[in-house]
Structure 1
Amino acid sequence: MADEEEAPPPVDQIKLIHKLNLFKIKGRDKRGRKILRIIGKHFPAKDLTVDLLKKYLEVKIFPKLERPFVIVYIHTDVNKSDNFPGISALRSVYDAIPITVKQFLETVYFVHPDLQSRLFLATFGRFIFTGGLYAKLKYVSRLAYLWEHVRRNAIEIPEFVYDHDEDLEYRPMMDYGIESDHPRVYDAPVVDSSVAMYSTRCIS
């Protein structure tokens, strides 16, 4: 009996990824490079298989990245239990990226990194992202720092990202997990911003 052909990914799940607006290629940064925007909060880790994600990227995303590009990854409001696929899944997806696409990727802007993500990348980043990608990662703790590299009208930013950015201005210690993330209170005492150090350092 002949081997059965691999079944194509379910159309409804492909539509789900597209509807969630998880990946979007639009606009260029100030150096003329294409922008691939990724919204971490939109990633349905519980409902999306790694194989389906890789297939979607292979068909819908990778063919459009045939010249230098950057990634703007928005980490705002990501919850580990809902939006994090796991270390092995990340490594599997990264290994599936064609070498030509990896070569064209020049910078990854990591917007609103929290303390957990910084610690995770410091521990596992070089293991997961081999081949130099880890060195291309730049933490961007405020949208104002992103605008130094990307024009505001070149990329669509969800409203909840702006809200979180404003929260961080009022309570900067949230950057380091010292203060919990809860609805902002405008009449509360303002934390002296000189205490916090805003990190835009490129990890190398």
Structure 2
Amino acid sequence: MTLCASMEQYHSLEKLHIFKIKGRDKGGRLILTILAKFFPAHTVSVETVTKYLQDNIYPRLEKEGPFSVLYVHTHVQRAQNFPGISSLRCIYDHMPSSVKNNLQSIYFVHPDLHSRLLLATVGRLFFSGGWYAKVKYVSRVDYLWEHVRRNETELPEYVYDHDQDLEYCPMMDYGLESDHPRVYGAPSIDSPVATYSMRCIS
């Protein structure tokens, strides 16, 4: 990779605001929020991500001490914005030991069936230090406030929208229903979208 291409990838990460350190959990620990929807898995190299974290995230986490991760899995698609378990392992391996030791909890918002199975199987083998035991699955945003301070935590609107979709189509939690336009009113009988929405509601 050329230096120019590497710099372009680096700046794209800065603009996307995927990683943000803000707020604290109920234990008073600093929170690193990761908005996985915006992760450019196919356009940014693992080396660039590692460099970005080393420059912008790890120094503050090392300074602050114990911290938690708020990982927002909403709208992550395996073929679009999921980097793959091997890439995640590579990023993890380059994480400073002090940061690994300071990680207390991982609040995993909107997990789907694939992510649960992946972490429960491959994740247990790939990550050390009791990492898997620190994962706390959070299926709804309302449950998140049991763990983090609500008035210090910012979530994008699409996270709340997806939460509402899940309330009407709970099987989406398991990947058995696709995302669909949220049509909750009385539908016309010949509308395919409305029929699909009613099937979810029933």
State TM-score, norm by structure 1.
0.86
Q: How far, CA to CA, are the matches of 1:19 and 1:190 in structure 2?
A: 37
Post-superposition offset of 1:124: 0.7
The runs of 5 or more residues in structure 1 that have no matched partner are: 1-5, 193-204
Q: How far, CA to CA, are the matches of 2:177 and 2:41 in structure 1?
A: 26
Give the root-mean-square deviation of aligned CA atoms.
Answer: 1.9
The runs of 5 or more residues in structure 2 that have no matched partner are: 186-197
Between Structure 1 and Structure 2, which shows a larger proportion of helix residues? 2
Match of 2:101 among 100, 103, 116: 103
Distance 1:185 1:7, change over 3 A: closer
Match of 1:91 among 72, 89, 92: 89
Output one character per residue of 1:71-111: Cα deviation in whole Å (capped at 9) or x when no partner.
00000000111111122211111111111101100000000
Q: How far, CA to CA, are the matches of 1:29 and 1:58 in structure 2?
A: 23
Match of 2:22 among 18, 26, 34: 26
Q: How far, CA to CA, are the matches of 2:85 and 2:6 in structure 1?
A: 25
Aligned residues: 187
Distance 1:162 1:50, change over 3 A: same
Query: Where do 1:10-159 residues align within 5 Å?
Result: 10-66=6-62, 67-159=65-157
Q: 1:118 is paired with a residue of what secondary structure?
A: helix
Q: How far, CA to CA, are the matches of 2:6 and 2:200 in structure 1?
A: 50
Distance 1:190 1:88, change over 3 A: closer
Q: How far, CA to CA, are the matches of 1:39 and 1:190 in structure 2?
A: 27
Q: How far, CA to CA, are the matches of 2:114 and 2:144 in structure 1?
A: 21
Distance 1:108 1:11, change over 3 A: same
Output one character per residue of 1:32-55: Cα deviation in whole Å (capped at 9) or x when no partner.
110000011110011100111111
Q: How far, CA to CA, are the matches of 1:53 and 1:190 in structure 2?
A: 39
Output one character per residue of 1:44-72: Cα deviation in whole Å (capped at 9) or x when no partner.
01110011111111111000102010000
Q: 2:167 is paired with a residue of what secondary structure?
A: helix
Q: How far, CA to CA, are the matches of 1:185 and 1:8 in structure 2?
A: 46
Q: How far, CA to CA, are the matches of 2:39 and 2:123 in structure 1?
A: 20
Q: 2:80 is paired with a residue of what secondary structure?
A: helix
State TM-score, norm by structure 2.
0.87
Percent of pairs identical after alignment? Answer: 58
Post-superposition offset of 1:191: 4.3
| Runs of at least 4 residues off by over 6 Å | none
